[in-house]
Amino acid sequence: MRYRYKALTLAGVACSGQQEATSVGALQQQLLSAQLVLLQARPAPVRSPRRLSTEAHAQWCFQLHQLLAAGVPMHEALAELSASTADARVAEQIRQLHTRLQHGASLTTAMQAAAACFDPLLLQGVAAGEASGQLVAVLARLQLHFAWRAQMQRQTRKALGYPLFAAVVLLAAISFLLVYLLPQVRDFVASTGAPLPLATRALLALAAGLQRFGVALLSIACMGALALALAWRTSVAFRQTLAHWSLRMPVAGRLLCEGLWSHYARSLALLYEAGVPVLHALALAEDGVRNRHLRIALHAARGQIEQGQTLATALGRIQPAPTLLPGLLRTGENSGQLGAALNQLANSCEHAVRQHTERMQALIEPLLTLVLGAMLAWVMLAVLGPVFDSLGALR
């Protein structure tokens, strides 16, 4: 149980914190060993733990690998990490691991007690590394894997950040012009008796339509979003259809497919090289695939492998899949270098993802700039054109 306590140091300074203990008496003994006198203790409120970020996983694996590779004992390494980690959530999790190790638990058991905070791949990799005596090497591979995943997440946010920011800014500017400035321009031009240009009439018609039907359109959009969310939560068939459709999209579908296969191949290679049995490694890597359609296909392929088929044959039937998959897996199985073949497949998919992402960024940014610029030019022409025409007529 986890307790929230108040205590005094030997110097009489009050302090407080949280710590796990089997009872209040055990907590008192733990604090005495840390030269603290317990004043008050009560069970800490139970909160559903949040999983650590991918970057936190990568940083933790890197730091623990460096300390263990230098010969630092595990409990001292965790104590050093908990003291030097700036992120409070990560430091708290490391302190809990250190406490469990002090009570005789292995690193695997200690991490399993807080499984909701860690990626399943990290849990299984650490378990396999401890069982095989190759924990340091496994941590190095895990660090590279999580670092790559964090990099892909940053690239995705970067690719989506500029279009979203530009769209929001343009929407705010156009809303201001439509709601505030355009009606004043219309009244001013009407007072001069001059006809309105076509661009202004079209924009006024659009503004009138939004004012008349805007609430209804917004209500329909909200109801549609609510219906989609409800269908996503309640309908397995809907999730399956949406997952299948997402992989078939013209450009983004290929990017998503390559990314999913890269993650699957890298996870499978890491677990296989750490000594996890192939069928168990297939199941664990399959659980990490977020697309339901591909996950079901991988589950079916695992059943075929259990019946005696090779990985190249079973996984090669899945569509969509990278074109290099059957050949690389067949070569890896025949040569006894399956881990290297899986890593090569992951590298190939990562290269394809990187190329597609760069091409999409190079295409989206100028295209979006052109579209948004044309829209803004239309609005500015519709708003300012009549003003300049009226001023010219007055002269």
Alpha-carbon distance values, 337 to 274, 329, 331, 384 (Å): 14, 9, 8, 69
Tokens read off for 95 = 């302190």
Burial class (CB in 10 A: 0-12, 13-18, 19+), 356: middle
Beta bridge partners of 9: 36
Tokens read off for 225 = 């979003």
Return the SS3 of 118.
Answer: coil
Tokens read off for 97 = 């691991």
Residue-wise pLDDT for 284-319, tens only, equals 888 878 888 999 999 999 999 999 889 899 998 888
- Is domain 248-354 annotated with CATH 1.10.10.10? no
Residue-wise pLDDT for 338-372, tens only, equals 888 988 988 888 888 888 877 877 777 788 778 87
What's the DSSP call for residue 320?
S
In this model, does residue 136 exceed pLDDT 70?
A: yes
Q: Report the mean per-residue pLDDT for the chain.
A: 82
Beta bridge partners of 2: 20
Identify whether the C-beta of residue 268 lies closer than 8 Å to the C-beta of residue 340. Answer: no
Tokens read off for 290 = 């977020």
Q: Give alpha helix (H) positions in the chain.
A: 24-33, 54-69, 74-84, 88-102, 107-112, 120-132, 135-176, 182-192, 198-234, 236-248, 252-273, 278-287, 292-306, 311-316, 325-335, 338-394
